[in-house]
Amino acid sequence: MSTPMYCVNHPDRETLLRCGKCGQPICTECAIRHPVGLRCPQCARLKRVPTYDVPAQYYLRGFLVGLGVSLACAVAVDIVRLLVPVFFLSFFAGLIAGGIIADAISRVTAHKRGRGLQVVAAVCVVLGYLVGSSLVMIFRFGMGAWLLIPASFLNLYYWIYPVIAVATAVTRLR
């Protein structure tokens, strides 16, 4: 007859379970389901995947580079859109620009990914688009464009590019 085992964390509980890694006896409350079996809390400490472990300074780096690239893309798209007013141009430009912005953010953050960088990319695309479009309007119409800027952003046609660019950038940084 074998001697009864007691949980290492709860000495008053008898158990038949052992940790799959260290072999310590554990109760059902302490057992953590792991891809390779049941583990004790000490052995089951799951570390984040390094790709998704983003240091704080990488967010600032990603934001600055993403905003610059987004501003350049928005100005280029607005200039091309003035020359060639085609509906589908905004859609395809959003796909291309979103990929470029996400790639720039990924490169300066050592190819990190995650929810935080997705938010950074979305904010960069929208801010870059608002500032870039405003600059193109001011360049085109002069200082009187300040009166036109709010009205132009109410047109849904102007929001095709940033919506598609945000969706593409966020998807690429997933």
Kindly state whether residues 75 and 35 are assigned to the same domain.
no
> Quick check: is 34 in a domain?
yes
Q: How far apart are CA 114 and CA 120, in angstroms?
A: 10
Domain that holds residue 111: 50-172
Kindly state whether residues 117 and 65 are assigned to the same domain.
yes
> Quick check: is 72 in a domain?
yes
Kindly state whether residues 88 and 14 are assigned to the same domain.
no
- Structure confidence at residue 6 (pLDDT): 92
Q: How far apart are CA 109 and CA 66, in angstroms?
A: 11
pLDDT tens-digit readout, 10-63: 999 999 999 998 999 999 999 988 888 899 888 887 677 788 889 999 999 999
Buried b (16+ CB within 10 A) or exposed e, 25-35: bbbeebbbeee
**Per-residue pLDDT at 72 exceeds 80:** yes
**Per-residue pLDDT at 90 exceeds 90:** no
Kindly state whether residues 126 and 152 are assigned to the same domain.
yes
Kindly state whether residues 28 and 83 are assigned to the same domain.
no
- CA torsion 140-146-152-158 (nearest 10°) is 60
